[in-house]
Chain A
Amino acid sequence: MLSIQLSNVGKSYRVYPNQWARLLEWLFPFLGTRHNRAEVLQAVSFTVAPGEAVGLIGRNGAGKSTLLKIITGTTRQSTGEVKLHGRVAALLELGMGFHPDFTGRQNLYTAGQLMGFSEAEITTMMPSIEAFAEIGEFIDRQVRVYSSGMQVRLAFSLATAIRPDILIVDEALSVGDAYFQHKSFDRIRQFKAQGSTLILVSHDSAAIQAICDRSILLDNGRVVRDGDPHSVLEYYNALVANSTNIGEASTCSGMIATTSGNARAQVASIRLETADHPDAEVVFIGQWVSLVIDVESLDDVEALVCGYAIKNRLGQDIYGTNTFHFQQQVTQLAVGTRVRYSFKFPVNLNAGEYSIATALTAGETHLEGNYEWKSLAKVFTVVNSGIKPFTGFVWLEPSVTVEVDQ
């Protein structure tokens, strides 16, 4: 028996040029249609087995949230069929439609009853919900004074108070702090081990890699890739990287890639080479990689320095250097010369998403002859594969000796 079965699911919205057109169509349907259809999902088909965890990825507007809403049942598909087996619990967007004037506890009763629980059942669940949410005495204060993190804590604790057969989690969890994220992912893992099916939407590739057995990539409302998370994420990163090639384009995380400079030299290609992949999108903590940058001069250039900076998802520089500091300055380049730079280093970074910015200059800083400066030239993901858990930005794993003085 399959847990979730979607066959040929499509969703389209009617788009009217204006309200009068809608009114005319409603009043006189025999005069013909006056709307266009905006397709949000097209021919989406997949099945999920019980206990399977599926990560749904895709750019903003790819249709992920719509698909979750259809599976949850808050909106209905225009075409196709959805079959579900078992009780569904969903955490869509922020909160659970909490009313700001009521206390957290009162809201738990309302939302719980909406989900189909009886008052007595909720009363029984209440201590465990309170214990998991850990919001202390805020539970008896009006929701209007809650932070968004507290609302998510309450909503998640309620949605998962009783193990559902199918758990659907939208990006909501990313609002919670690291502690709660960790705690909720632990609970999700437990549920999965006990046989719950999981559908997760996240822009956090590390989370998807860590929890999901399978990943589905949606683009423009269609399933583009369906397979193991690693390869699907690589495809996704390539898809995102492609869109950054065009001068200024927005990436999945909403950052803007920009290019500036006098264009006397340019980065022709940039890739991360690992032992088993010439152009990796996902690398492991501690893995040795080579950052290979091919530069092409578009003019006669007296001196060329190539620099790069690795930035985390917040745009903070994690590490940056250039060939000037390594006495590797190339001089007197004729137009059309190609130069290959190779920077080999171990990825001593914590898991997460990183971007690389490149700079081609004449000297030590980009103030001296800025040929090309490019942000988000490359996006990659670092995942933890068997490294001892740690916190922070960098991997500084110590060797530990403990002496107990008896």
Chain B
Amino acid sequence: MPAQRLSRLVAHRGFITASVKREFQLKYRNSLLGASWTILNPLAMIIIYTLVFSRVMQARIPGIDGAYSYSVFLCTGVLLWGLFSEIVQRTQSMFVDNANVMKKINFPWLCLPTIVLGSAVLNFLIIFGLFALFLVVVGLLPGLATIALVPIAILLMWLALSLGVALAVLNVFFRDVGHLTGIALQFWFWLTPIVYPASILPERVESLLWLNPLATCIVAAQQVILAREWPSWSSMWFPLVVSAALTVWAWYLFRAHEDEIVDEL
């Protein structure tokens, strides 16, 4: 059965790539500068963070020197958080958002999370490319360890996608889930060391931080970029297990309620 679903999904690859392209266009439709906004938005973010935190507030990360270190630290966290929250938010509302089409055309619904993933990755690559450029400019380009960002990002996306799909099914039947996700993500943002380094936390709290699978991913990325070190792979087992468990749960929820989804929309 999953093999059959996969082959139907592959048969619709044209639709998936076209949808990702369309979504990109739609975002900048009726704007004069068009796709340049993709670059202008993160550029503004990087400039503001750098000016405010590195120049005005003279913020420093304990243990790491450099005028731009806090700005780089913050951007790394915010970019990865953006990827995570975009996938979770857009996946959890995918059935509700596409109700119109789902009611009228028979197509494999697994196209929907795939499109979300594609769009998110595209946006992330553009923004991250710009960020990498900024790193080169300030002379902070990390070495070989940068490659470690790929498995870290994949793990983070897996976590986001499996959580998003489970929430998407729940959201069809309980619309509260959509509202709740927005609030929960705000808490999650501040429970993750994005704005502050984990080391400033009291020891008791810091040890609890590792219960947050996202924190592990983001701290690893910060380590790769700022300290130019390979992350500790052994710490990755927890996010891996959580993602796998979420995938099983999401798949179970989807299979159990698949037949009722369209009727509820």
| A residues with CB within 8 A of B | 13-14, 19, 22-23, 26, 69, 72-76, 78, 88, 90, 92-93, 95-97, 101-102, 106, 109-111, 113-116, 118-119
B104 with A97: CB separation less than 8 A: yes
Q: Which of B107, B174, B260 has most A Cβ within 10 Å?
A: B107
The residue in chain A whose Cβ has the minimal distance to the Cβ of B15 is: A113
The answer to whether B103 and A92 have CB atoms under 8 Å apart is yes
Quick check: B263 and A118 within 8 Å, CB to CB?
A: no
In order of increasing CB-CB distance, the 4 nearest A-B pairs are A97-B101, A113-B15, A73-B106, A76-B259
The answer to whether B22 and A106 have CB atoms under 8 Å apart is yes
* Contact A119 to B174, CB < 8 A, known contacts A93-B103, A113-B12: no
Residues of B within 8 A of A23 (CB): 174
Expressed in whole angstroms, the Cα–Cα distance for A111 and B263 within the complex equals 21
Q: Is B19 positioned at the interface, with any CB of A under 8 Å from its CB?
A: yes
The answer to whether B105 touches A97, judged by C-beta atoms less than 8 angstroms apart, is yes
Cα A13 to Cα B262 with chains together (Å): 11
CB neighbours of A69 from chain B (8 A): 103, 262
Query: Which one, B29, B98, B106, contacts A72 given CB within 8 A?
Result: B106
A76-B259, A110-B18, A116-B12 given. 4 additional CB < 8 A pairs? A13-B263, A95-B104, A97-B101, A102-B22
**Which parts of B19-75 form the interface with A (CB within 8 Å)?**
19, 22, 26, 29
Known: A101-B29, A116-B11. A74 touches B22 (CB 8 A): no
Among B11, B18, B105, the one with the most A-chain Cβ atoms within 10 Å of its Cβ is B105
Q: Report A-chain residues with C-beta under 8 Å of the C-beta of B15.
A: 110, 113-114
Binding site for A on B (CB under 8 A): 11-12, 14-15, 18-19, 22, 26, 29, 98, 100-107, 173-174, 258-260, 262-263
A74 pairs with B104, CB closer than 8 A: yes
**CA gap between A54 and B98 in the complex, in Å:** 31
CA distance A101 to B22 in the complex (A): 11
Can you give 18 contacting A-B residue pairs, CB < 8 Å? A75-B259, A75-B262, A88-B106, A90-B104, A90-B105, A97-B100, A97-B104, A97-B105, A102-B22, A106-B22, A110-B18, A110-B19, A111-B105, A113-B14, A113-B18, A114-B105, A116-B11, A119-B14
Contact B260 A74 (CB under 8 A): no
Residue from B98, B101, B258 whose CB has the most chain A CB atoms within 10 Å: B101
| Alpha-carbon distance between A75 and B11 when the two chains are bound, in angstroms | 21
Instruction: Note all chain A residues with C-beta closer than 8 A to B104.
Output: 74, 90, 92-93, 95-97
Using CB atoms, name the residue of chain B closest to A95.
Answer: B104
Complex alpha-carbon distance, A119 and B104, angstroms: 20
| Smallest Cβ-Cβ distance to B19: which chain A residue | A110
Q: Is the CB of B14 within 8 A of A118?
A: yes
Q: Could you tell me if A119 and B18 are in contact, using CB atoms closer than 8 angstroms?
A: yes
Contact assessment for A74 and B18 in the assembled complex, using a CB-CB cutoff below 8 Å? no
B174 near A114: Cβ-Cβ < 8 Å? no
User: How many angstroms between the C-alpha atoms of A115 and B262 in the bound complex?
Assistant: 17
Quote the shortest CB–CB distance from B90 to chain A (angstroms).
16
The distance in angstroms between the C-alpha atoms of A143 and B19, with both chains bound, is 17
Whether A90 and B260, one on each chain, are in contact in the complex, defined by CB atoms closer than 8 angstroms, is no
Chain A positions within 8 Å of B262 at CB level:
69, 74-75
* Chain B contacts for A101, CB-based, 8 A: 26, 29
Chain B residues near A102 (CB, 8 Å)?
A: 22, 26
How far does the Cβ of A95 sit from chain B's closest Cβ, in whole Å?
7
Report chain A residues within 8 Å CB of B106: 72-74, 88, 90
Minimum CB–CB distance for B28 against chain A, Å: 12
**Separation of A296 and B2 alpha carbons in the complex (Å):** 71
Q: Which of B98, B105, B258, B260 contacts A115 (CB 8 A)?
A: B105
Q: Would you call B14 and A74 a contact (CB within 8 A)?
A: no
* B-side contacts of A22, CB under 8 Å: 173-174
Closest A residue by C-beta to B170: A26
Query: Across the interface, do B103 and A74 meet the contact criterion of CB distance under 8 Å?
Result: yes
Name the A residues within 8 Å of B18 (CB-CB): 109-110, 113, 119
Q: How far is the CA of A76 from the CA of B102 in the complex (A)?
A: 12
Residues of A within 8 A of B100 (CB): 97
Shortest beta-carbon distance from B8 to chain A in Å? 9
B14: chain A residues at CB < 8 Å are: 113, 118-119
Known contacts A76-B259, A118-B14; decide if A19 and B107 are in contact (CB<8 Å): no
Residues of B within 8 A of A74 (CB): 102-106, 262
B11 touches A110 (CB 8 A): no
B172 CB → nearest A CB, Å:
11
Residue of B nearest to A11 (CB): B263
With A22-B174, A101-B29 already in contact, the answer to whether A75 and B105 are too (CB < 8 A) is no
**B101: contacting residue among A76, A114, A116, A119, CB under 8 A:** A114
